Amino acid sequence: MEAEGTGEVRHWAADVNGISLHVAERGPSTGPAVLIHGFPELWLSWRHQMAALAARGFRALAPDLRGYGDSSVPADPAAYSIFHIVGDLVALLDHLRLPKVLVVGHDWGAHVAWHLCLFRPDRVRAAVILGIPYFPRGPRPMTESFAKLGDGFYINQFQEPGRAERAFGRYDVATVLKKFYALDIDELIAPPGVEIIDFLQAPSSPLPWMTDDELGQYAEKFQKTGFTGPLNYYRTLDINWSLMAPWSGAKIMVPAKFILSENDVGLQSLGTEKYVKSGGLESNVPNVEVSIIEGHHFLQQEKPERVNSEMLSFLDKFASEEASA
């Protein structure tokens, strides 16, 4: 864990917040940046950003979130609330004696990163968030809002324990992952009576931005853990809504950069594009910069050079502040 240099990725585990958290690390021992992955991913999703951060002198720390990879997989579905996930990260910072860090998040990791900024702004110097903007707590539970999208909407299908797992089980793990990674549709909504995993297509050729060996690394870990832990994140949406009442109307004041992909899924059905372009995000995150770039959902893997450029140009400003502090 104490090794220096920017070369190889180092792996270690920490007992934090009642679980074991696997962490991949690259770079020197200063300038910590925590990278938070999404669904269905692992620390590996940040391989390109970890290399770029380390080369720039940052300490890149990419955990497998609880339920994923080599981290613990709690059996209790209620153990996947936003408070548990953010709690894991705060405990990790305490374990490493890091008072304040830079944060990068994508997909579910974006949701977690926003809430780390909301709950503990004292621990975050700045954040770069990909794909999912910060939406404040609404007047009713999210599943009620999603009901209008019908049973074919993937989050609605994920609510019932075991349903998605049974559907996923009709395919080998690598195919399930490839169906998600190859997303090139406007909305994650299956036709009536069709499971979302059956609706999604897995191309026969390798993905242009992921080798078969890399896909195999993901598949090996999901073969071991299964998908229930990751799916439980979606099953805590209403729990999160109930517990988030004290933060109704709260703004995120941490300096942030939000990167939106032009061809991401759900831009219309979830209202993401309108919310961001109309200034809704800026009203809730006053210190945010927005960049809209070409690409699809898994942006940091599909367009690593552009994402790295956007990320480093923003984080460099805060690295210099840290050095002069």
| Amino acid in position 323 | A
* Residue 107 annotated as catalytic: yes
CB atoms within 10 A of CB 292: 14
The CA distance from 243 to 72, in Å, is 24
Catalytic residue among 70, 88, 107, 264: 107
Catalytic residue among 68, 181, 234, 275: 234
Strands 19-26 and 59-63, by their bridges, are antiparallel
- Pick from 260, 249, 231, 268: which is nearest to 135 by CA? 249
- Pick from 94, 85, 84: which is nearest to 36 by CA? 85
Contacts of 325 (CB under 8 A, 6+ apart): none
* Residue 70 annotated as catalytic: no
* Residue 297 annotated as catalytic: yes
Q: Are 222 and 234 in contact (CB under 8 A)?
A: no
| Amino acid in position 94 | D
Contacts of 246 (CB under 8 A, 6+ apart): none
Contacts of 113 (CB under 8 A, 6+ apart): 36, 103, 104, 105, 127, 129
The CA distance from 83 to 68, in Å, is 17
Number of H helices, E strands in the chain: 15, 8
Q: What is the DSSP letter of 62?
A: E
The set of catalytic residues is 107, 234, 297
